[in-house]
Amino acid sequence: YSGIDENSLVSKKINSKKVEEIMSMPIVVTEDTTVYDTIVTMFLENVGTIFVANKGCLSGVVSRKDLLKTAIGGSDISKIPVGITMTRMPNIVVTYPDDSVVDAARKIIEHEVDSLPVVNLEQKEGKEYYKIVGRISKTNITKLFLEFSGN
C-alpha cells in the first residue's frame, strides 16, 4: 500500500470498531450501598468508576474523587449511602453497544470523564430507563490504540 491507502485503511478500521467489541464488565452497586462498601468494591474490582442502579435502572455514577470528597468531609462513610455522593441521572453521559468507539472516545474527552456506562434503552411499566450492559473507559480505548499499533 502507499502511505495514503494505508492511512485510510487504518482510519476505516478504527471507525468501524463498535463499543460492544471492546467494552468491559460493568461494576454496579445499589443506591443504598454505603460509601464504605463502595470503596471496598472499588478496590476489589479494581475499577475507578462504579455505576449505581436502582431496580436494574441506571441511576448514577460514582468516581474515585466523589468517594474521596465524602471521606475527607468527615462524615461516617459506613452510614452514608452512595446515592448522596454520586452524579445522578439525567446528568449521566452514556453510550450504546452499537455506537462507534470513536464517538465514545469523543464523549469521554468532551465531558472530561474516565468512563461511560454502556446501556440499552428499555421500557418498564411504560417508563423508559437505561439498562446497564457494559463499561467503556480510557483503558479500553488505550488497549485498542495498542492493538492498532500492531503490538
Is 63 a binding residue for ligand ADP by CB under 6 A? The answer is yes
Closest CA to 146 of 22, 24, 16, 25: 22
Name which position in 78, 91, 123, 151 contacts ligand ADP (CB under 6 A): 91
Distance in Å, CB of 7 to ligand ADP, minimum: 31
Can you read off the three cell numbers belonging to residue 22?
A: 471492546
- Sequence-distant (6+) residues with CB within 8 A of 107 are 93, 95, 113, 116
Name which position in 93, 102, 133, 144 contacts ligand ADP (CB under 6 A): 93
Distance in Å, CB of 11 to ligand ADP, minimum: 26
Can you read off the three cell numbers belonging to residue 103?
A: 464517538
Stretch that binds ligand ADP, among 6-14, 72-80, 112-120, 139-147 (CB under 6 A): 112-120
Of the pair 3, 39, the CB lying nearest ligand ADP is at: 39
What whole-number distance in Å separates Cα of residue 95 and Cα of residue 64?
A: 21
Of the pair 98, 147, the CB lying nearest ligand ADP is at: 98
Distance in Å, CB of 93 to ligand ADP, minimum: 4
What whole-number distance in Å separates Cα of residue 117 and Cα of residue 104?
A: 10
Of the pair 45, 147, the CB lying nearest ligand ADP is at: 45
E-assigned strand segments in the chain: 28-30, 49-54, 57-63, 87-88, 115-124, 127-137
What whole-number distance in Å separates Cα of residue 131 and Cα of residue 53?
A: 9
Is 113 a binding residue for ligand ADP by CB under 6 A? The answer is yes
Binding residues for ligand ADP (CB under 6 A): 48-49, 61-66, 87, 91-93, 113-116
